[in-house]
Structure 1
Amino acid sequence: MRFAFLLVSFFLSATFLLAEDTRLSQFQTGDDNRGFEGVGQLDIAGTGFCTGALITPQVVLTAAHCLFDKDSGTRIDHRTIRFLAGLRNGRAQSYRQVTRAVVAEGYDYSNATPTTRIRMDIALLELERPIRDTRVKPFLTDRLPMRGDNVGVVSYAHDRASAASIQEVCAVLGKQAGALVLSCEVDFGSSGAPIFQFQNGVAKIVSVVSAKAEMDGQGVSLGANLQQNLEGLASRLNAGEGQWKGQSGARSKTILSGQRSETGAKFIKP
């Protein structure tokens, strides 16, 4: 793992906070994922996947690095990406192809400084048409949480690709160079997964999963700075940016539940 060397040893209360986390549990039934149907799997040309979440009926929030080829470092054709909202056991509540995509201003996939790359690791994807299914509701976004706050994460991963999983309570351990350091459990495929803070029963997205790292021998996750990047991204998308300017990409194909691909965005970062 590229970010395994990132040690964040100066958060003294980390061990205590980690002990209070709830376990990661997979959505087994429709009742389990009720209210989270707006979280979906991003099938990337049938070669891998990330996680994303609706923030409007036609816009998905995810990690910027999901739009880059892990070997060449070049942008992939975002038109080969399909958003599978509420995917569970091979069935999506709704699905749409991506038509436009913008990444955070200044994001550089090849940047050798991990925290700089992680802080800016945000992208917005516009879908071919809005999702009007009343069960698939977009999420509100909110400010960055503070150290000691509790958050939750809903994500897909390579070993649990058939349905999303939730960790309802994990801790904000602090910030490093603007990137959030969290005790949440993540793995390959979790890139772009929404990090939620729950306020009066309402789940609001406060960050997205960018990478995982190690702190005092414990696995931690790292979240992008949503507050710093989101407004500018939305303005650029509204201004008509994000059209694909490269060569036509291959036709997208969907990975069936339980299948595993050995290439693509699933194995770029978590």
Structure 2
Amino acid sequence: MKKYIVVVAAACLSACTGGVEDLPSSETDAASAGIIGGTIDEGDPAVARLNIYKALGDSASDCTAALIAPKVLLTAAHCMNFTHRSSGPVGRAFFGTDDMGEGLWVNVTEAHYDPAFNRSNLNAGHDIAVAILEEPVSIEPLPYNRTPMTGAMVGDPVRLIGFGLDEEWFSGVKRHVTTTVNTVTPLLLGFGDATHHTCTGDSGGPALMDVNGVPTIVGVTSFGNAVNGNPCTDGWHTRVDLYLDFIDSFVDAP
């Protein structure tokens, strides 16, 4: 298995729309971006709320993740805390609809992110990570995309899922929205429009498209742009098809 950096991180950014010219030039230009224009999602059991603890205290990042193997969650690198606890769980994951209600909490024992990720240059991609659960869960994992994304997919339907903020600024409830692909770049994907996209807390969540008739993770929620004080106006997603070596190394591990 390839060796990757092991960490546990901080910020929570988000999702997608807009053209390439709208990409922020640095992290300070980007804003945390919940599902806007969506509805409560009582299905999709493989999509979890993910908390990665900070080094000290009980505070944690609030992100979303998707189960891709019985003990492996796919998420975003910026959801990791770069200094982590020296002992005990590094985080926890919730499987259910409302994290204040019934569901399953599972400890996270490891967190790994792509070592090429640069928090100061989100445009450069590599915002991808995995979280390893303490024990396997009896939930069917989601497949992740192995088909190259192309501009020919613009206009195709895509479904976004996350535990982030909605229009009323509530979070912690799993929501989803169906929208379309609007941009495919060599590194990133843009999904949705001004009223259908992700927001704060959806970071790391899956974007699903049908691949050979099977709902498949094609993107991981990465970041969004703030406009006039509104952090949830659009966003961008990491292309899963570009990081198969990194992801497979954990899914295929003994």
What TM-score comes out, normalization by structure 2 length?
0.70
What's the CA shift string for 1:141-167, capped at 9, x where partnerless?
Answer: 123543222111110114332310010
**Are 1:26 and 2:43 matched, yes or no?**
no
Shift of 1:43: 2.3
Q: Indicate the larger mover: 200-209 or 221-230.
A: 200-209
What's the CA shift string for 1:126-149, capped at 9, x where partnerless?
Answer: 1111002xxx32111123543222
What's the CA shift string for 1:183-212, capped at 9, x where partnerless?
Answer: 251111110010001357632111110011
Residues 115, 176 of structure 1: 8 Å contact kept: no
Residues 207, 224 of structure 1: 8 Å contact kept: yes
Return closer, same or farther for 1:25/1:237 CA change in 2, 3 Å cut-off: closer
Q: Secondary structure at the match of 1:106?
A: coil
Return closer, same or farther for 1:43/1:139 CA change in 2, 3 Å cut-off: same
* Residue 107 (structure 1) aligns with: 117
**Are 1:162 and 2:167 matched, yes or no?**
no
Shift of 1:232: 2.2
Higher Cα radius of gyration: 1
Shift of 1:102: 1.6
Tell me, in whole angstroms, the C-alpha distance in 1 between the residues paired with 2:18 and 2:162. Answer: 24
**Are 1:232 and 2:241 matched, yes or no?**
no
Return closer, same or farther for 1:82/1:147 CA change in 2, 3 Å cut-off: same
Tell me, in whole angstroms, the C-alpha distance in 2 between the residues paired with 1:209 and 1:53. Answer: 11
Return closer, same or farther for 1:106/1:167 CA change in 2, 3 Å cut-off: same
For 1:181, the aligned partner's letter is G
Tell me, in whole angstroms, the C-alpha distance in 2 between the residues paired with 1:223 and 1:54. Answer: 17
Tell me, in whole angstroms, the C-alpha distance in 2 between the residues paired with 1:233 and 1:9. Answer: 26
What TM-score comes out, normalization by structure 1 length?
0.66
Q: Which of 182, 190, 197 is the aligned partner of 1:181?
A: 190
Residues 47, 65 of structure 2: 8 Å contact kept: yes
For 1:49, the aligned partner's letter is D
Q: Secondary structure at the match of 1:233?
A: helix
* Residue 197 (structure 1) aligns with: 209
Shift of 1:86: 1.8
For 1:166, the aligned partner's letter is H
Return closer, same or farther for 1:92/1:131 CA change in 2, 3 Å cut-off: farther
Number of residue-to-residue matches in the alignment: 208
Percent identity over the alignment is 23
* 1:28-107 pair list within 5 angstroms: 33-34=42-43, 36-45=44-53, 46-47=58-59, 48-68=61-81, 74-77=82-85, 79-88=89-98, 90-107=100-117
For 1:98, the aligned partner's letter is V
Residues 8, 214 of structure 1: 8 Å contact kept: no
**Are 1:151 and 2:161 matched, yes or no?**
no
Q: Secondary structure at the match of 1:151?
A: strand
Q: Which runs of 5+ in 2 are unaligned?
A: 1-11, 23-35
Tell me, in whole angstroms, the C-alpha distance in 2 between the residues paired with 1:121 and 1:101. Answer: 13
* Residue 134 (structure 2) aligns with: 128
When the two chains are superposed, the root-mean-square deviation of aligned CA atoms in Å is: 3.2
Q: Which runs of 5+ in 1 are unaligned?
A: 12-21, 28-32, 69-73, 241-270
Return closer, same or farther for 1:43/1:92 CA change in 2, 3 Å cut-off: farther
* Residue 223 (structure 1) aligns with: 237
Return closer, same or farther for 1:75/1:175 CA change in 2, 3 Å cut-off: farther
Return closer, same or farther for 1:237/1:88 CA change in 2, 3 Å cut-off: same
Residues 90, 110 of structure 2: 8 Å contact kept: no
